[in-house]
Structure 1
Amino acid sequence: MIRPLRHLASRPAALSVPAAALAASLLLAGCGGGTAAAPGHGSATSRDPSTAPTRSGTSSLPEVSLRNTPQNLPRKPPQEVPQELPQELPGLGPTTLAEVPSGTRQAVVVTGRDKDSSLSTVVLYERTEDGWRAGESWAAHNARDGWSDHHLAGDLRSPIGVFGLTDAGGLLPDPGSRLPYHRSGAFTVSGTGFEGEPLAGSFDYVVAIDYNREPGTSPLDWTRPMGARRGGGIWVHVDHGGPTHGCVSVSEDHMKELLRALDPDLHPVIVMGDADSLSR
């Protein structure tokens, strides 16, 4: 289910809930609140390295005079060919594109390998006068059982849709985020993931995804406008090497890069789902 973006609410005063209580609330639902999973239930697999293309052999050429070779002729300086940028976000169909607000100039596109896969890629796009310019493609994880267009708490699927990116935070100091950044000891997680990997450090940096949450508040705020049954606590966070409960995870370096790049003045959104769903 694709949720329309909500207007930013005014930021509240410092949270009155003690950090320990907030940490305990992270055990309720979603990545920001999933209990540590037992190992051996993950579905992620390592990617095969791409094979470099091989070049076919060349036939021998007859001898020619050096004065007739192109190397001996005057050369024109190379001319830069302007890059043609796509006018629409690549890989997105009309239904998905219709959910991207016209004022959005930054879009994090998360493309899942398939509906039931926990592997995905992340690309940050920025709209220019010439079209959408793509950043690097980053390897990522999503929820263990893939994707859902009607996410429910505990279904171990990431929600499909277009959502705002308005708030950030983490256990570590602000690395230069342009989004409001809430540092707290409550961004602490322990235990192991679905493949036995340690979860410690996963919430060192997070960006809250505005799915079933109140924009303009700390990622730790537990307001659920659609009710607790629809889950929440869906974040972009540091990858721990395995599937998530519902979040999207990328490497720590990429998280810091993302935090420094996302600009609230550009009204950033995240477009997320499996490739087939996004192409509709």
Structure 2
Amino acid sequence: GQVFNSQNLLSNLSILQSDIETSARRNDLAAQLLARSLDNILDGYRQKLLPTLQVLANGANHKDLVLPSSQLAYNRVADQAGIQGSALQAADLPVNILLVADQKVISPTKYPAISYATKVRINQDTTVNYSVTVKFPSISNLDSVVLCTSLIVPDITVTGIDQQRVFTRRLNNDICKVADVLTETELTYSWTTLQFESLDNSEYNLVIGQGKQLGVEVVSDFEMVLDSGLSFQSIQPDIPRIEGRAVFTESLDKDSLIDINIIR
């Protein structure tokens, strides 16, 4: 059989024509070759279709799938499928951490693994002391690490970086603290919220939300402590706790909500 490539296509077509050197014969052979090539391509695609769909579905379910597109049709489909949705809208205390990469730089570690170490203290006056330490690898295309929340907070402090490279920005309805990183691999964001409940109440409900960025693997260490005089009535999901302290570690495969009921 003949081996076809871009260098010998025309000469091999002439050989296959034998003694029938007409344009109709040449076009017929070219059409047959194209049909066979397409059949081979589609056959390989059919064999890989189910595994490919399984990978895409798993990525969408675990928020590991990033499909950038400016097409409105794609955006509508992604919204309907829940790929771009966020569970943080249901949170009283939503926190979203984003890695912003330079898309002009290609890196094999474009979507890295990071970790959160979150410490939450709920005070008697129903304010909350919140701090989260973010650890991330040093990669060439990482521009900034951003923490966003829709809460109204007096200020968010960022430690572990020169303050000249820390900025406050607004994104939609969120307040965002942007840290432009150079060689840093660990940052701590901390703040104190306003009161989330009236002091006249004896029972409080608070939903804490942790966002999971698309395409980034996240391990979350979470610790929550209640001030003296407060106690847990319930926590969903069921988190191990001893008296006024709850601690757990999880690998985030989607936005995480922690629903807490507290009694005084």
TM over 0.5: no
Larger radius of gyration, structure 1 or 2?
Answer: 2
More helix per residue: 2
More strand per residue: 2
Specify the TM-score bucket, using the shorter chain as the normaliser. under 0.3
Larger RCO: 1 or 2 (CA < 8 Å, sep 6+): 1
TM-score (structure 1 length as normaliser): 0.22
